[in-house]
Structure 1
């Protein structure tokens, strides 16, 4: 690896450390996660996955914003929320291996890292402490999301 490649990797690691999911990780941890992830880019309006899809990737938003929607029992669209930089989506299917429960669409040009359960299992086997810190980041984001949902329910009644 030449110096330019090394510097590009360090720059990416430092940029990623600003994301909420990596708040408790050092450079080496971020690198270990990053090397197992795939980078994907989406255009505004592009669908990442639809409700019922069986892909189980977890997505970390590096740049951009995504809308998460579903249909109610009458078939009408329902918007859950928008997720932006530093947040995640796809965590339910990633954790329980069930079909997707919502549709995710990019609302602007976006970049994500995605990791499969198999890639995470590899991380867990080879770098268990890093995997634990990554999952703590996931848990912290989910906790904030649940608290927000609780507040919306509380104020809706």
Structure 2
């Protein structure tokens, strides 16, 4: 399974086992919250099996308050996908909520485990951090593509 997970990209078999040793697994039931928008974020999640929905509650345009029952689904993650990396890196609250869609098993890589990894093996930690950076970069590039497409469709210019 680690072969198709970008967090493990470029790691040999021993390094893959080492990274796994810093993780834990947890099972979630359908509709169970993995984390909620605005919660403190301190972990990256990897879908081992199942499906996860990422959603956000829409804000009222006038008041800026959250609108009850105004959930917007942003994306779904399946086996091998990684999510939660933004809050793991920037220590800001979660920007969206994550829910299990079906019985789901996740690997959880906590920031405290990464901090321990830095102490144990700094070179290895840099390799892992580089992979996390690549994941974020890929997502940003994809977001840019979507933004450009939408701006073109709506004839909007960004300054």
TM-score, normalised to structure 1, is 0.82
Match among 121, 129, 154 for residue 148 of structure 2: 154
- Residue 118 (structure 1) aligned with residue 102 (structure 2): no
Larger radius of gyration between Structure 1 and Structure 2: 2
Partner of 1:80: 74
Deviations 1:45-94 (A, max 9, x none): 21101112224111122222211111222222222211222221111221
> Residue 26 of structure 2 is aligned with which of 33, 40, 45?
40
1:155 positional shift: 1.3
User: How many residue pairs end up in the alignment?
Assistant: 143
Q: How far is the alpha carbon of 1:129 from its aligned partner?
A: 2.2
Matched, 1:94 2:80: no
Q: Aligned ranges for residues 1-157 of structure 1 at < 5 Å?
A: 15-74=1-60, 75=67, 76-157=70-151
Hey, which of these two has a bigger chunk of strand by percent?
Answer: 2
The Cα RMSD (Å) is 1.6
Give yes or no for contact 2:28–2:104 (8 Å, CA) kept in 1. Answer: yes
| Structure 1 unaligned spans of 5+ | 1-14
How far apart in 2 are the matches of 1:129 and 1:112? 26
State the Cα deviation string for residues 82-141 of structure 1 (Å, max 9, x = none): 122222111122112222221001122221111221110111111222212212221222
Does the Cα contact within 8 Å between 1:44 and 1:110 map onto a contact in 2?
Answer: yes
